[in-house]
Amino acid sequence: MHLLLSTIALRPYVFIFLASFLFIAVVNFGLRTTLLFTVLTYAVSLASEWSSIHNGFPFGLYHYIEATRAREIWVFGVPFMDSLSFTFLAFASYTVALLLSSPLYRRGFDFRILDTWQIRRAPRVWLMAALFMVMVDMVVDPLSVLGDRWFLGKIFWYDPPGPHFGVPITNYLGWYLVAAITIAIFHWLDASLNRGSAKPAGSVPAMRSRALLGPALYFGIVIFGITMLFRINAPNVGWAGIFIYLPFTVLAIHILTRHESWGDDAAIERHLADFPYERDLPVWKPTSARTHKVRSVTA
C-alpha cells in the first residue's frame, strides 16, 4: 500500500489519465468491458515490455534504470505505470477512430455518434485506432527519452538510440503491433459482453455528448505531451509533434463539419436497432423546436 501511494504521488499525471479513462469507458461501454480490457491490456503490454528489455522485441532493445524501485511499483523489471499507460492510450485512440467512422447526430448541445456493430467491428476502425495510438507515441516517447529534464526522471535508455529524437523506428512498429492486439481485445470484449438489448452495467446512455469524452482524453494527452516538450526547452521535438498532428486535425475537422456529411434519419434507426436500450432517450423524441443533424455513412 505504501508503494502504491508513493507511485501515485510520483506519477500523478498517469493516474489522472487512468481515472479519466476508467470513467469514460464505463459510461460508454460498461463496467465489465472496462475492467477486463484494463487487466488484459496491461498483461499484453507488460509481456511486450518484458520481452523488449530482454530480447528487443517488439519495441526494440532498451533498459530501465532502477533508480525509483524503492519509490514506485515495479513488476518483472518494468515500472507499473509504464505498462498501465497502454490501457488509456489504446482506448482513447479507439474512440477517435470510432468518431471519425460513424454517422453523427446533434441535437442542441448533445452530440452523439450513430455507430452500429458493423461499424465498431470494421477493419478500418481497428487499423485507424492502432495508427492513432502510434501517433501519440511519436510525441510521448521522445518526451520520455528526455525524462531527466522534467518530473518523469531518467528511467530508461534505448540500446542503441534511434533516429527519431533518440527513439528507434522498431519502437513504433512494435507499438502498432501491440495497439492492434489490444484494440482487437476491446472489440472482442465489447461484442461478447455488450451485444444485446440490455444496457451494459454502469453505462450511462443519457449522458450528453459522452462519445466526445474519449477523443477529448486523446487530445488532452497529445496537448500535455507537446506542451511539456516546449516547457523543457525541446522545441524541435515539440514542433515535430505539432506537424504530425496538424494535418490529422485539419482532416478530422473536415470530416466532422463538411456539409455533405449530414443526411436523413435512417442512421438513427440503424443505431437504435443495434442499441435498443437507447430508444427511449429524450434526445431522439421529436419536439416543435427540434433541430438535429445526421451524417448518413454506411459501414
Q: Which residue stretches of the chain have pLDDT < 70?
A: 260-264, 286-299
Residues 6+ apart with CB under 8 A from 171: 59, 60, 137, 141, 158, 162
63-87 pLDDT per residue, tens: 999 888 888 999 999 999 999 999 9
C-alpha pair distances (Å), 100 with each of 249, 267, 285:
11, 15, 25
Q: Is the dihedral of CA 225, 228, 230, 233 positive or negative?
A: negative
Q: 3-class DSSP state for residue 203? A: coil
Q: Which domain holds residue 157?
A: 2-105+117-194+212-256
Give the chain's domain count: 1
| Residue 101 placed within a domain | yes
| Residue 279 placed within a domain | no
**Cell triple for 109:** 448541445
Residue from 138, 145, 227 nearest 176 by CA? 138
Tell me if 180 sits within 8 A of 127, measured CB to CB. yes
Q: What are the beta bridge partners of residue 76? A: none
| Residue 55 placed within a domain | yes
In a 10 Å sphere around its CB, with 0-12 CB exposed, 13-18 middle and 19+ buried, how is residue 292 labelled? middle
Q: Which long-range contacts (CB under 8 A, 24 or more apart) does 274-281 make?
A: 274/115, 274/116, 274/117, 275/205, 276/197, 277/197, 277/198, 277/199, 277/205, 278/205, 281/205, 281/206
pLDDT at residue 83 in the model? 94
Tell me which DSSP letter residue 167 carries.
B
Tell me if 43 sits within 8 A of 50, measured CB to CB. no
Q: What are the beta bridge partners of residue 189? A: none
pLDDT at residue 17 in the model? 97
Tell me if 26 sits within 8 A of 203, measured CB to CB. yes
| Residue 44 placed within a domain | yes
What's the one-letter identity of residue 189?
L
| Residue 61 placed within a domain | yes
| Residue 16 placed within a domain | yes
CA dist 99 and 255 (Å) reads 10
| Residue 288 placed within a domain | no
Strands (E) in 53-160, as ranges, are 62-64, 74-75, 78-79, 104-107, 110-113, 156-158
Strands 62-64 and 156-158: antiparallel
Q: Which long-range contacts (CB under 8 A, 24 or more apart) does 6-12 make?
A: 6/71, 6/72, 7/71, 7/72, 7/73, 7/80, 7/81, 10/68, 10/71, 10/72, 11/72, 11/81
| Residue 149 placed within a domain | yes
Tell me if 190 sits within 8 A of 33, measured CB to CB. yes
pLDDT at residue 33 in the model? 97
